[in-house]
Chains A and B, each alone.
Chain A
């Protein structure tokens, strides 16, 4: 190989890493779809809001599961903490300003994430899995024990929100809520995307790939994991806060094991460790649930189960993996 060619090859390698974080045109698609759906399917706007919230929740899980490789069955702990934080702030303290409510939700969830993560993330594998589950169950039981505050199974009522930014009131069709949720999702997606492509993001991927070697090269593994766990918890807390504010209602379901399991299913369905998996997973899961529940209110979960089985067997990288393959095949044909 000639010297100049050689330099060009190493430069190409460097450029690949230097440019990886730049936007690809296809990344505009989910946002265009979200905006188009608002105008094309006005009847689905409330469902759309719920989908956006699930996307945010699944995105937060992707940071810990997909990127850092932390397997958790207790992510609802943070969603629920955020939901009750925002809900109680509005219902009991009468603070109805929505955005500061979300900040409060994020703060409370981050605190729970930091404290539990500090303890839990010294463990691995099955032990860690059980501890995440136990944390969520303890919070659930705490919510149950303090039913006087949380409303227990009947739910927390009386969440009255002030107009968004002091100007936009909530309409009967949930349009304000949709735009609100979409804007929050977009901002937090930008945060997640930035973290993932940062050197810190590369380090947590390294921890996922080989934690032993990361310690051997001097990485403060525990600190890195607690950091991403706290960020993820804050993000899940915002999703919970949005859920409380847009539904004006919170039940213990926000903290339930079922919710932890559902978000895991959504993320695996969509694809882990690739940011957009959360989008596709939540969209497909909730549309499927909506459609199948109308067809067969009793057995709709069977249909969801079939889709999940097919996905994990034949699309190992999730539904988003299929999109990536299709995109690559298309690019090859064009050449």
Chain B
């Protein structure tokens, strides 16, 4: 097993009496396909917020490439290769799909530091072409010039992923990527996720067990802010404890 790209050590976060993360020891290898599951309120999104730097942990450490990033601000972590998508769309709604992705690409390449040359001038072409390439890979290039707010929700979910990919991440955290998408269309999202570049380490939070078992090579179960168990999909499916607290009767009854 190669050295982990992302690691948390005894990560702890509490809001008063509420503990959203309890001694979480977690690691992600390069190219990982890892699912994080758990009942509502288990602290899955809080965990993502702790990794991305939206929340500061009460105790414990976060490491990227073995380097401590616990005190590193969110934007700096993003520049170092941690990208995420949101459970509820966080898009630039008034801008076109292409501009949405160009922002992510431009901030990564440093193009956005330029305050004097037109966005479309020499260096801008590379940013636009890269963004268009991503839209093509996600098959939403037809919508390139459409305003995000005019798109159906399912397509907006793809823009959500396209922006994250525009960051050329090494670690990608997908927070319920198919949430809110009609089930008839969720396979489009799943296909995109299955074809993500192999070198990216992906952590997916998902409620849909079909998606989880199809996609993940490893699963972590989070309950009340603590890791209950970890293992391959087969191990998790066979785990009595997991069935009891999480999968319950509806999944395997």
Contact indicator A21/B106 (Cβ below 8 Å)? no
Which residues of the partner chain B approach A201 to less than 8 Å between Cβ atoms? 115, 119
Note all chain B residues with C-beta closer than 8 A to A19.
120
Task: Determine, out of B125-133, B150-158, B187-195, the stretch whose residues face the partner at the interface.
Answer: B125-133
With both chains docked as a complex, state the minimum distance between the C-beta of A288 and any C-beta of chain B, in angstroms. Answer: 30
A217 touching B103 by the CB < 8 A rule? yes
Q: Quick check: is B211 within 8 A (CB to CB) of the other chain?
A: no
Contact B91 A18 (CB under 8 A): no
A330 to chain B: which residues have CB within 8 Å?
none
C-beta contact mask, A12-37 vs B, less than 8 Å → 1, else 0? 11101111110000000000000000
Chain B residues with Cβ below 8 Å from A311 are: none
Q: Is the CB of A197 within 8 A of B118?
A: yes
The verdict on A122 contacting chain B, using a C-beta distance below 8 Å, is no
Contact of A199 among B52, B79, B111, B135 (CB under 8 A): B111
> CA–CA, A13 to B96, complex, Å?
10
Determine whether the beta carbon of B74 is less than 8 Å from that of A215: yes
Q: Are A202 and B103 in contact (CB under 8 A)?
A: yes
A218 touching B128 in the complex, CB below 8 Å, given contacts A17-B98, A199-B111, A201-B115 = no
Cross-chain contact A206 with B92 (CB below 8 angstroms): yes
B23 interface hit (Cβ, 8 Å):
no
Q: Does B6 count as interface, using CB distance less than 8 angstroms?
A: no
Question: Do the beta carbons of B108 and A198 come within 8 Å of each other?
Answer: no
Are B75 and A10 in contact, CB atoms less than 8 angstroms apart? no
Tell me which of B61-69, B137-145, B221-229, B236-244 binds A.
Answer: B137-145
Residues B75 and A198 in contact, CB atoms below 8 Å apart: no
- Interface residue count on the B side (C-beta < 8 Å): 48
Give the complex CA separation of A12 and B120 in angstroms: 13
Q: Identify the closest chain A residue to B80 (Cβ).
A: A218
Q: How far is the CA of A10 from the CA of B163 in the complex (A)?
A: 18
A209 near B: Cβ within 8 Å? yes
Contact B79 A218 (CB under 8 A): yes
B221 to chain A, nearest CB (A): 26
Within 8 A of B (CB), among A201-239: 201-203, 205-206, 209-210, 212-221, 224, 227
Query: What are the residues of chain A within 8 A of B83 when measuring CB–CB?
Result: 216-217
Q: Is the CB of B75 within 8 A of A20?
A: no
A328 at interface by CB-CB < 8 Å: no
A196 to chain B, nearest CB (A): 10
Known contacts A13-B132, A200-B113; is-contact A217 B141 (Cβ 8 Å): no
B4 at the interface (CB under 8 A from A): no
Chain B residues with a Cβ under 8 A of chain A = 52, 74-76, 78-79, 83-84, 86, 90-95, 98-99, 102-104, 106-108, 111-120, 124-125, 127-129, 132, 135-136, 141-142, 144-145, 163, 166-167
Residues of chain A at the chain B interface (Cβ within 8 Å): 6, 9-10, 12-14, 16-21, 194-195, 197-203, 205-206, 209-210, 212-221, 224, 227
Sample (19) of A-B pairs whose CB atoms are under 8 Å apart: A10-B136, A14-B128, A16-B145, A19-B120, A20-B120, A199-B106, A199-B114, A199-B119, A202-B112, A205-B95, A209-B95, A210-B90, A213-B86, A217-B108, A217-B163, A217-B167, A218-B75, A218-B78, A219-B112
14 more A-B residue pairs beyond the given contacts A200-B115, A219-B107, with a C-beta to C-beta distance below 8 A: A9-B142, A10-B135, A14-B129, A20-B118, A20-B119, A198-B116, A200-B112, A209-B92, A210-B91, A215-B75, A216-B83, A217-B104, A218-B76, A219-B75
